[in-house]
């Protein structure tokens, strides 16, 4: 292998071992196969490094029509359809719109609203189609902790989340009066191709996530949020200024910082620290990111001995408050 192929091989091997294993047997098999397949690695290395991500490749292959068989079935499809797959990988990005992440954001959102004595104005950076902007419209099933649901129920299946460490679960859902998002390429819940792409980003064994996504997209179509096209560093402050003044603004993001370079992260951190520290109006910052993507972000928590790389860290205004499952499947409170 060339040095580039070795680096890509390591990337796919690590993804199989640390992220897919025990969570998606099919993606474990596919990425393990790719990591030792010189021909497929050479194809991937024709793309820019940022476009060789395992999740992007896997979703693009499925978007084009890859059968859900073992690597022996997957490999010839990839080789035969590489032109179409690579075009999708160059045109699309990993915009997983996982409503389940609201389960790990909800305790902090409810506490912020209660402490400030105001309803919420939500701004999500990296919003995709906007499914995480509706924490007040979903039902939740915390174990332990019980169920929480909006008055009249929810058409979206309950968001299941295991809890540990004394999570401060609210007695009621917070009131959200305004919701907006920023994305380089916002997705349209009413566009069939965008919906199909979002479905391709759901891992194949996770039928419950696909069902939840479809229900969340129906909710969005009925009551669309404000979605702004642009760079988060350029658009976040103007959007804060557009939020209603009688609400507390919460800027949040999940699995977004990995797509910024160090300078971009530093700029965003500086903006959010300034906004969160301003006395002009209440603004809070919730960050839900993986350990590796928190480099350069003040208050990042070091990974504990034996901690799995797949866990995320939830921070409030730069202070770590919880470890979480990346799709919102678990939360361990640390305070």
Q: pLDDT per position in the chain (335 positions), as tens? A: 666 668 999 999 999 998 899 889 999 999 999 999 999 999 999 999 989 999 999 999 999 999 999 999 999 999 999 999 999 999 999 887 889 999 999 999 999 999 999 999 999 999 999 999 999 999 999 999 999 999 989 999 999 999 999 999 999 999 999 999 999 999 999 999 999 999 999 999 999 889 999 999 999 999 999 999 999 999 999 999 999 999 999 999 998 988 888 889 889 989 999 999 887 889 999 999 987 666 555 555 555 544 555 788 999 998 889 999 988 999 999 97
DSSP 120: E
- What is the model's pLDDT at position 90? 97
DSSP 6-66: HHHHHHHHHIIIIIITTT-HHHHHHHHHHTT-HHHHHHHTTS-GGG--HHHHHHHHHHHT-
Query: Taking the mean position of all CA atoms in its chain, how far away is CA 124?
Result: 11
Helices and strands (H and E) in the chain: how many: 11, 11
Alpha-carbon gap, residue 294 to 265, rounded angstroms? 9
Alpha-carbon gap, residue 166 to 189, rounded angstroms? 36
Alpha-carbon gap, residue 145 to 128, rounded angstroms? 30
- Single pTM value for the model: 0.87
What is Dmax (Cα atoms) for the chain?
Answer: 60
Q: Residue 289 half-sphere exposure, CB side, CA atoms within 13 Å?
A: 30
- What is the model's pLDDT at position 111? 97
Per-residue pLDDT tens for 141-173? 999 999 999 998 999 999 999 999 999 999 999
- What is the model's pLDDT at position 222? 95
Check the CA dihedral 36-38-39-41 and report its sign: positive
- What is the model's pLDDT at position 89? 97
- What is the model's pLDDT at position 305? 46
């Amino acid at each position: 292998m060339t040095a580039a192929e070795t680096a890509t091989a390591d990337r796919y091997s690590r993804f199989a071992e640390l992220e897919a294993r025990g969570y998606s047997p099919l993606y474990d098999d596919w990425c393990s196969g790719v990591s030792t397949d010189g021909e497929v690695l050479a194809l991937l290395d024709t793309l820019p490094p940022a476009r060789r991500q395992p999740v992007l490749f896997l979703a693009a292959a499925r978007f084009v029509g890859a059968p859900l068989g073992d690597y022996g079935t997957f490999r010839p499809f990839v080789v035969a359809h590489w032109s179409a797959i690579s075009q999708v990988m160059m045109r699309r990005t990993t915009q997983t719109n996982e409503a389940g992440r609201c389960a790990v954001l909800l305790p902090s959102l409810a506490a912020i609203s209660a402490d400030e004595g105001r309803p919420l104005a939500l701004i999500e950076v990296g919003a995709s189609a906007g499914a995480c902007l509706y924490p007040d419209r979903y039902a939740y099933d915390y174990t332990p902790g019980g169920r929480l649901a909006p008055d009249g129920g929810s058409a979206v299946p309950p968001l299941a989340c295991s809890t540990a460490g004394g999570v401060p679960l609210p007695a009621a859902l917070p009131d959200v009066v305004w919701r907006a998002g920023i994305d380089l390429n916002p997705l349209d819940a009413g566009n069939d191709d965008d919906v199909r792409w979002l479905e391709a980003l759901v891992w194949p064994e996770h039928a419950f996530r696909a069902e939840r996504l479809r229900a969340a997209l129906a909710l969005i179509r009925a009551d669309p949020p404000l979605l702004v096209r642009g760079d988060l560093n350029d658009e976040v402050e103007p959007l804060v200024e557009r939020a209603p003044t009688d609400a507390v603004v919460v800027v949040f993001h999940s699995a977004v910082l990995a797509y910024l370079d160090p300078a971009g992260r530093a700029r965003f951190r500086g903006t959010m620290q300034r906004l969160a520290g301003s006395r002009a109006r209440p603004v809070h910052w919730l960050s839900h990111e993986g350990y590796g993507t928190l480099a350069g972000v003040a208050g990042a928590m070091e990974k504990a001995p034996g901690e799995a790389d797949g866990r995320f860290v939830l921070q409030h205004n730069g202070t770590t408050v919880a470890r979480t499952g990346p799709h919102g499947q678990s939360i361990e409170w640390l305070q």
